[in-house]
Amino acid sequence: MTRIARGQKTSSTLGMALLSLLAREPLSGYDLAQRLDDNVGFFWHAQHSQIYPELQRLATRGLISGKTVKQSDRPHKKIYSLTERGKKTLAEWVTSPFDAPPLRDELTLRAWSLWVADSSRAAALFRAEETRHRKRLAEYRAFEKQIEAGWQAQLDDPSTPEFATWATLLRGLGYEKEYAEWCRRLADLLERRPRS
Amino acid sequence: MTRIARGQKTSSTLGMALLSLLAREPLSGYDLAQRLDDNVGFFWHAQHSQIYPELQRLATRGLISGKTVKQSDRPHKKIYSLTERGKKTLAEWVTSPFDAPPLRDELTLRAWSLWVADSSRAAALFRAEETRHRKRLAEYRAFEKQIEAGWQAQLDDPSTPEFATWATLLRGLGYEKEYAEWCRRLADLLERRPRS
DNA sequence: GGACGCATGTAATAGGTTACATGATTAC
DNA sequence: GTAATCATGTAACCTATTACATGCGTCC
């Protein structure tokens, strides 16, 4: 049996994440790292050490093209933008058959062993996690208000980036709300203060 | 600067996952792989190729101990059980300070690029995902009924494994419900059938 | 005879994090 | 001076998946 040629993997999710960001605006590796931290950090994340090599691979495959921009006051940078081929690849990936990789949630795993742990310490942990998720929820709600005020028209049109941003925000809102409520319920149970 | 000694890492999450399972009942590597597929597969997962070496490491550290059990009809197996030290390590890990590793959700990432994709194909994808999550939700609800019927007494006591199982089930129910609803809402929006 | 379940392992590869490395400019 | 931000890269390591490898017993 001849080996299937290696190094030909057509799409890593990280690569698609970078294309996703570049589809909206041309960005440098540094910019991309920032956005993968705060902007879309809720559902995808990567370090700069992973980003720079991946950008080179995407460029080799003709999905993006980079220009070096010289700046007088700061170090020069490479700004990448999507090529037509890149946009096509991205569009196809979005609706391609989906194998959900298994979820890993360490807090839920810990909950599964709650019975061996100290209940009051466990309650404190879940209170702390509830707070963390409530904070994020509050941030998302603030963003939601902005969006609903400023992007009314675009939210009806699935072909706008605003619609897509709003779509992910809806997920963030639901996710954090549910997570916070679960944490709170568990903390209550662990402290034996049954809710009404 | 002298290097910090290597190979001393005290706890991998996978290791804790295995201890979590062994805290409930002694199991073989094969059994563990099965449970990490269906039983606790919702929030943690591992392949057998990762499990066997990890078991050896845990045994070296004295957290578990294994006995070879000879079977006449089947291949012999190694049954591992938690040691006292293992149980202590597990209990401490459960409530130890928590750094939530960043969430990665490929479907949400795809949603962020919905605007470049074909809407009707996208709607089909989200319908399919909705179905997948609804199926899981139905399974969890069936399990919930069993639990509430059979484990009434234990559910008030956080020191029982039944309580801990129920705690994770609550998370599963909330997670799948929210996910399914999000998928449905997006599919509706993409098909321009606004909900009441 | 062949597929499937039980049972345990190793090897190769891919994906991701942490650490190493460099260097300019600006703000304190 | 020193920390922080901008800016790009490589190396080492850890984690996880896929593939390779073996072998017995049962069911069809």
pLDDT at A6: 38
The spacing between the Cα labelled CA in B68 and the C1' in C19, in angstroms, equals: 42
Q: How many helices and strands (H and E) does chain A possess?
A: 7, 3
Of the two residues B15 and B72, the one the predictor is more confident about is B15
B117-127: pLDDT as tens digits? 999 999 999 99
Min Cα–Cα distance to chain B from A67, Å:
24
Question: Which pLDDT does position A1 carry in this prediction?
Answer: 32
What are A98's two structure tokens? 């989906």
pLDDT at B195: 53
Question: What is the full per-residue pLDDT of chain A (196 aa) written as tens digits?
Answer: 333 333 345 789 999 999 999 999 999 999 999 999 989 999 999 999 999 999 999 999 999 999 988 776 676 899 999 999 999 999 999 999 988 899 999 999 999 999 999 999 999 999 999 999 999 999 999 999 999 999 999 999 999 999 999 999 999 999 999 999 999 999 999 998 655 5
Which residues, other chains included, contact B9 with Cβ-Cβ below 8 Å and sequence gap of 6+? none
- Residue B102: its pLDDT value, please? 92
Q: In the prediction, which pLDDT does B26 show?
A: 97
| DSSP β-bridge partners for residue A77 | A69
Q: Hey, of A22, A110, A183, which one would you mutate to test binding to chain B, going by the most B CBs within 10 A of its CB?
A: A110
Per-residue pLDDT, A75: 65
Compare all CA atoms of chain A with the CA of B193 and give the residue at the minimum distance: A156
pLDDT in the model for residue A72: 66
- Distance from first CA to last CA of chain A, Å, rounded? 66
Helix, strand or coil, per DSSP, at residue A194: coil
Q: Number of helices and strands (H, E) in chain B?
A: 7, 3
Per-residue pLDDT reduced to its tens digit, B9-40: 578 999 999 999 999 999 999 999 999 998 99
Residues of B in contact with A113 (CB under 8 A): 16, 19-20, 23, 90-91, 93-94, 164
Tens digits of per-residue pLDDT, B100-137? 899 999 999 999 999 999 999 999 999 999 999 999 99
Among A103, A115, A177, the residue with its CB nearest the CB of B164 is A115
- Give the integer Cα–Cα distance in Å for B184 and A66: 38
Which residue of chain B has the CA closest to A116?
Answer: B91
Exposed/middle/buried for residue A94 (C-beta within 10 Å: 0-12, 13-18, 19+): buried
Say how far A73 CA is from C24 C1', in Å: 8
What pLDDT was estimated at residue B193?
60
For range B171-191, the mean pLDDT:
98
Q: Is 60 exceeded by the pLDDT of residue B157?
A: yes
CA A79 – CA A64 distance, rounded (Å):
10
Looking up tokens 């949630």, which residue turns up? A105
Size of interface A-B (CB pairs under 8 A): 211
- The confidence score (pLDDT) of residue B8 equals 46
